[in-house]
Amino acid sequence: MRYSLPFTTSTTSLAPTLIRILYAAIFTLAFSLIAFAHPEISTSEDNTTVIVQNAPEQEVYVFGKAVIVKKQAKGVLAIGGDVTVEGRVEGDVATIGGNVIQEEGGYIGGDVIVFGGSYKPKSATPLREPGKETVMFGVLEDEIKNLAQNPSQIFSPSMSWSFVAQRIVVALLWFVISLVFTTIAPGAISRSVARIQLSSLKVCGLGAGAFLLASVLIVAGAVTLPTFLSATVGAMGLLLLLLGYVFGRVALQVSVGKMLQKYLFPENNRSETLATLAGVLVWTLLLSLPYIWIIALFSVFAFGIGLILTARSSGLRQIA
């Protein structure tokens, strides 16, 4: 959901900013650091709030805490906390799992980006730089905030009845998607399953390299290229990742299902539908297990992209 104030412009200028904010968030999550070492930046006595005094050249990245800008800062990103602007922020203000609160007299010179929260100016005409963007994604606020404050649950999700019910719904969805793929393109799926069984290391290795390269190009393009080029590179990279995930998961589900059917099911009780269902259940389980799901997710991307990249060469060999 996008909420725009009168001083916004086109969203194309925002794409590099969004990717830079996402890159900064990933950097902060990966290293679990508070990116400030400045005498004008301190924490409250209860260690829940970062207080910024006069730091006009400082980009403030905060993890698991709220931020209050009393005087000046260059830019602010808070993960799992609110950002309150009482003074001036010359650049962007962003938060994941929190709110951006602009007090009367507070000034924001860049974009305001909020994931899982809202933008709350205390004045009817907040002090903003003309032509800047305000973007809010206000869905799943509590979930995003809890995730941002406790990122370990990404790797080890808590088991509950709602989680189990969600996994069942996901399994049914992927069962339907797999049936649609095997019905519309049975030849492509069967050839992909054969490549997985015959040259799994080659397919996975090629796909893993392409996955890492695409991720680097998306981030590097957003930082270095002009807006239209970075948007094009980002869209192409994300499309490749999306196609790789969907196609790779379907192919892996069918492949695992056929393998299970071969060794566990009697010959008189075998069917494509039953094999697909078995594969869907196995991969849904793998993608739900704590810590294991990270390896499984990377494997899906690697195999999917590898299958896409090797499809053409496979087709040319069959024609020859």
Model confidence over 228-272: pLDDT tens digits? 787 787 888 888 889 999 999 999 999 999 998 888 877 766 788
Are 66 and 171 within one domain? Answer: no
Show the tokens assigned to 46. 């209860």
- Determine the pLDDT at residue 7: 39
Average pLDDT estimate for 104-127: 89
Expressed as residue numbers, the domain containing 163 is 157-319
Q: Are 200 and 185 in contact (CB under 8 A)?
A: no
For the ranges 6-20, 32-46, 54-68, 206-220, the lowest mean pLDDT is seen at 6-20
> Does the residue 231 lie in any domain?
yes
Are 148 and 164 within one domain? Answer: no
- Determine the pLDDT at residue 12: 40
The more confident residue out of 203 and 116 is: 203
Average pLDDT estimate for 280-305: 92
Are 111 and 254 within one domain? Answer: no
> Does the residue 107 lie in any domain?
yes
Are 145 and 211 within one domain? Answer: no
Within 10 angstroms of residue 186's Cβ, the number of other Cβ atoms is: 11
Beta strands 93-96 and 66-79: pairing type? parallel
> Does the residue 3 lie in any domain?
no
CA atoms within 13 A on the CB side of 129: 13
Q: Quick one: DSSP state of residue 79?
A: E
> Does the residue 1 lie in any domain?
no
Domain's final residue, options 126, 152, 178 = 152
> Does the residue 6 lie in any domain?
no
> Does the residue 4 lie in any domain?
no
Confidence of residue 315 (pLDDT cuts 50, 70, 90): very low
Domain's final residue, options 129, 152, 175 = 152
Are 178 and 293 within one domain? Answer: yes
Q: What is the mean pLDDT of the chain?
A: 80
Place of tokens 């799901």: 293
Are 20 and 132 within one domain? Answer: yes
Are 102 and 169 within one domain? Answer: no
The more confident residue out of 120 and 7 is: 120
Are 128 and 188 within one domain? Answer: no
Provide the CA 105 distance to its chain's centre, in angstroms.
35
For the ranges 13-22, 51-60, 97-106, the lowest mean pLDDT is seen at 13-22
- Determine the pLDDT at residue 149: 65
The more confident residue out of 259 and 144 is: 259
Residue 5, pLDDT > 90, answer no
Helix (H, G, I), strand (E, B) or coil at 263: helix
Per-residue pLDDT tens over the stretch 56-109: 888 888 887 889 999 999 999 888 888 999 999 999 999 888 889 999 989 999
Average pLDDT estimate for 135-156: 69
- Determine the pLDDT at residue 227: 72
Distance from C-alpha of 301 to C-alpha of 289, rounded to nearest angstrom? 17
Q: Quick one: DSSP state of residue 139?
A: S
User: H-type helices in 32-160, by residue range?
Assistant: 141-149, 152-155
> Does the residue 5 lie in any domain?
no
Domain's final residue, options 98, 121, 152 = 152
Show the tokens assigned to 84. 């309150």
Q: What are the residues whose beta carbons fall under 8 Å from the beta carbon of 84, sequence distance 6 or more?
A: 66, 67, 68, 69, 101, 103
Average pLDDT estimate for 174-195: 91
Alpha-carbon dihedral of residues 175, 177, 183, 184, nearest 10 degrees?
-170
- Determine the pLDDT at residue 203: 92
Distance from C-alpha of 106 to C-alpha of 84, rounded to nearest angstrom? 9
Are 87 and 174 within one domain? Answer: no
Helix, strand, coil distribution of the chain in percent, nearest 5 = 55, 20, 25
Are 183 and 205 within one domain? Answer: yes
- Determine the pLDDT at residue 84: 93
Q: Are 58 and 42 in contact (CB under 8 A)?
A: no
> Does the residue 111 lie in any domain?
yes
Number of domains in the chain: 2
- Determine the pLDDT at residue 140: 63
Are 307 and 211 within one domain? Answer: yes
Provide the strand spans (E) within 129-177.
134-137
Q: Are 102 and 86 in contact (CB under 8 A)?
A: no
Distance from C-alpha of 79 to C-alpha of 97, rounded to nearest angstrom? 6
Are 86 and 65 within one domain? Answer: yes
Q: Are 196 and 255 in contact (CB under 8 A)?
A: yes
Q: Are 92 and 69 in contact (CB under 8 A)?
A: no
- Determine the pLDDT at residue 6: 36
Average pLDDT estimate for 301-316: 78
